[in-house]
Structure 1
């Protein structure tokens, strides 16, 4: 794109959640910084997800949104007053430009609250999220989420977008991971087997088979990996019983479920030699750290929400008549169960010595399917 670049001093990116979406919004930050180098670029993000972006060198300030503290504001006068004060603090920052990368009513109202002269977002935002915008950009829902957001950044800067997915881990957490003796002092794989949506889950017993296979000795006594780390939230331990049982039998399987913060998870992924995950934030973190990935997808559309620029890393078995609906647990599980252990083990073998180009990457034209 061409044209005079806007002279702005303060920019606000609005992308509160979810964690994976926050991780894959960083190209918007990179684009704005490239084309508005003198501007301070802040990011309105849910406070629980701030660790995903707070170490990015292009970021000015995190504007934390405490969803838990402000929930139910219409029922509590005290909470309503807290919300009004918080919105007032955003307005007082006097942003020149606000980008609503979320595209929902709440984020649209956040954009409106800034009173920025330019408030850019999606013309087809859900829940009437366009209500707070004065520049509404066409962004087809069929496009990848990252490309849709970059349309907003391109409109803001009147310049070509920068597809830089790089994430940045905490130096303290990076050092902690390096010092953890359980991770074999070197080559470990990370398995992220959980999801908030049951329909996205690959069977836990199959993950356990893969973990065991990755630790087996090959011809000549060498192993593919020295350790396998299992991650997830404490509330998700019930999803991964077979993996936890394996960890009790084999100390090389490191049970980190419920024992990692977002900052620690990022450092673990950054230092890993392979990430195997369902459709979850771990996939997008692995893209951000340019790690080898095996992404297991079923009821979600890879062309829209897959690992950006890394579609060939996806294992997905589609059939005629399939419908993408991750909220339908029965249909989703059936689609995930089409992925066999043999399919994933072959991918592990193929990526044991990963050879892939450095970031940034361009989107791939097709979805990897098995």
Structure 2
């Protein structure tokens, strides 16, 4: 059986789909899985060993050049590639009209959330089968339940396994207790003040850790350089391909991040991860992992650096105890 997963974006949403794929990999070893994703996140999808062919879309780019011939050529090539694969089933795990339209291009039966469960009910008009999944569950659990209903098994929700491991690679000259500080995020109201990042870096250095940070645009570069000026032992990773950042992230001892895709990736890798949420509700979309924790700003309050580092120490200790316990078995 050949199944196409449609989950095009964002990075966090893509990562939240991995546990569902891991469930299906165990329950239905007869199925071969392919994936259709936004071109920017193809490298993230490639981290899961159960994914065969990765088809890429460029909806964000196509929207800006809707009437260009190149856009239509790419869209036509995608449709041909999807139909050539002759899928037995397409699972639209996103529940949006745009994802349903992409799923439709494969010319195969489509399963997705039903009208009461989908983020955009209009998407269900394009599905062959809709499945009811409560909307008040975390995105990871919702997707796991959807896959289970679509493929005929019951996921074991008592365990959580993303099925991915960090790719090979590291940061030359940096080793030992590194703490990756993920300050960059898509919205201004999600950003933790640079002063808090600096204080966090100082507290980590006092505890024998080496801060590492990176950037993807000029504004993030300015923040990274401000941290490094104030905390000279900080290592700045230049703007790099996502796969390279994922490798460096995966070799870190600790990750502290804003509400951003790389923070979700760190938790999926099973790293001690402290997520700082300032403007969004983490209950349904926050990072999940064996050593992941989310600190949320209460109305009118702030999340202090001391609180973040204290939580980081708790997670590191928890990991140490967990590994020691596993070694005794």
* Alignment TM-score, normalising by the size of structure 2: 0.87
CA shift digits 1:301-320 (9 cap, x unpaired) = 2210111256971112335x
Task: Verify the 8 A CA contact 1:119 1:133 in the aligned structure 2.
Answer: yes
CA gap 1:200/1:311 in 2 versus in 1, 3 angstroms: farther
* Aligned residue among 173, 177, 183 for 1:187: 177
* Unpaired segments ≥5 residues, structure 1: 1-8, 217-222, 320-333, 359-370
Q: How far 1:98 moved relative to its partner? A: 0.7
Mean alpha-carbon deviation: is it higher for 92-101 or for 153-162? 153-162
CA shift digits 1:102-140 (9 cap, x unpaired) = 111111011222222343334332442222211112223
Task: Give the total of aligned pairs.
Answer: 317
SS at match of 1:338: coil
Query: Partner residue of 1:344?
Result: 308
Query: Partner residue of 1:196?
Result: 186
Query: Partner residue of 1:308?
Result: 288
1:244 equivalent in alignment to 2:225: yes
* Unpaired segments ≥5 residues, structure 2: 324-329
* Aligned residue among 8, 12, 16 for 2:4: 12
- Distance, in Å, in 1 between the alignment partners of 2:4 and 2:191 is 35
Q: How far 1:11 moved relative to its partner? A: 0.4
1:160 equivalent in alignment to 2:154: yes
* Aligned residue among 265, 270, 277 for 2:250: 270
CA shift digits 1:21-67 (9 cap, x unpaired) = 11121112212222221222001011111111213221111111133
- Distance, in Å, in 2 between the alignment partners of 1:195 and 1:345 is 20
CA gap 1:69/1:237 in 2 versus in 1, 3 angstroms: closer
* Alignment TM-score, normalising by the size of structure 1: 0.78
- Distance, in Å, in 2 between the alignment partners of 1:100 and 1:236 is 35
- Distance, in Å, in 2 between the alignment partners of 1:67 and 1:303 is 28
- Distance, in Å, in 2 between the alignment partners of 1:79 and 1:348 is 46
Query: Partner residue of 1:60?
Result: 52
CA shift digits 1:262-315 (9 cap, x unpaired) = 112211221111100111112211111111111111222221011125697111
SS at match of 1:304: coil
Q: How far 1:229 moved relative to its partner? A: 0.5
1:280 equivalent in alignment to 2:260: yes
Query: Partner residue of 1:83?
Result: 75
Runs of 4+ in 1 over 4 A off after TM superposition: 309-312
Mean alpha-carbon deviation: is it higher for 337-346 or for 196-205? 337-346
Task: Verify the 8 A CA contact 2:214 2:221 in the aligned structure 1.
Answer: no
Task: Verify the 8 A CA contact 1:11 1:40 in the aligned structure 2.
Answer: yes
CA shift digits 1:215-255 (9 cap, x unpaired) = 12xxxxxx431x21012312442661xx4134246542011
